[in-house]
Chain A
């Protein structure tokens, strides 16, 4: 029998689906029996999903221009040949 503490210790690997089958069965059983651990599991899973789903913002135009200017300068100078 897993305790809630055991469950928490394994939570990461469980979320990343990197636990072996035997342990997975035990963890699955624990979440069906323990509503609190189910909530922690479910909300942590959602936390990760929400962060993964967010697209990076477009870079401010001036920052992009300065980056390209610095690069073009470097490219014009050639790398290592000058």
Chain B
């Protein structure tokens, strides 16, 4: 997967340049290339299909209208991610204020960096499940994180933005990105342990 990404970025500048000079087919090609990732990102942040579709459309419409302002210093993908994150956060805030239950309300009871489950995992635990099962397990785990942790995890570890890019996209500090990412990673590890632990081991095996 990473090879493809490198190749895509490599030959992308001419395509972006064509899109910038008004070639609509070139822009459509960029849409085809990134719509899946943008939709996934939007769904992860908004957790709502309707909002995710709105975010998807707004992102590419805005990108098209503002293509002249894209300087080419960053990757095209990073640029549209930033647009998508803004749109998705706006949706999230709108929903939050129109509901009685705040999305910031902790669903877990604190203990963000607590390590409770210490069990060895299978060597390639993901192979125990079908693609669809695995996707569901992973999505559910991400969904259960608080929005503040979830957005950072999605940008850093799913969409693979750098710490700096994530900080810029979310308008938070680098230390905030780092501390939220650690909590998100540890919480996910904890949640996934029950699916991925090696059979026959128990919590006390190493104590």
Q: A: which residues have CB within 8 A of B?
A: 8, 11-13, 15-16, 35-36, 39-40, 42-44, 46-48, 50-59, 63-64, 66-68, 70-71, 74-75, 79-80
Q: Which of the four size classes fits the interface of chain B?
A: 35 or more
Question: Do B64 and A71 have beta carbons less than 8 Å apart?
Answer: yes
Question: Do A40 and B28 have beta carbons less than 8 Å apart?
Answer: no
Question: Do B206 and A36 have beta carbons less than 8 Å apart?
Answer: yes
Q: Write out the residue numbers on chain B whose beta carbons fall within 8 Å of the beta carbon of A35.
A: 206
Instruction: Please name the residue on chain B nearest to A39 by beta carbon.
Output: B118
* CB < 8 Å A-B pair total: 111
Asked whether any CB of chain A lies closer than 8 Å to the CB of B149, the reply is no
Question: Do B138 and A64 have beta carbons less than 8 Å apart?
Answer: no
Question: Do B115 and A40 have beta carbons less than 8 Å apart?
Answer: yes
Which of B54-62, B74-82, B86-94 forms contacts with chain A? B54-62
- Within the complex, which residue of B28, B119, B125 is in contact with A71, where a contact is CB–CB below 8 Å? B28
Q: B: which residues have CB within 8 A of A?
A: 1, 24, 27-28, 31, 35-37, 39-40, 53, 56-57, 60-61, 64-65, 67, 113, 115, 118-121, 125-126, 134-135, 138, 157-158, 160, 163, 178, 181-182, 185-186, 188-189, 192-193, 196, 206-207
Instruction: Please name the residue on chain A nearest to B201 by beta carbon.
Output: A39
Complex-state Cα separation, A42 to B53, whole angstroms: 36
User: Could you write out 9 A-B pairs with CB less than 8 Å apart?
Assistant: A15-B185, A46-B121, A47-B189, A56-B40, A57-B40, A59-B39, A63-B56, A67-B60, A70-B57
Q: Write out the residue numbers on chain B whose beta carbons fall within 8 Å of the beta carbon of A59.
A: 35-36, 39, 56
Question: Do A74 and B1 have beta carbons less than 8 Å apart?
Answer: no
Complex-state Cα separation, A56 to B29, whole angstroms: 17
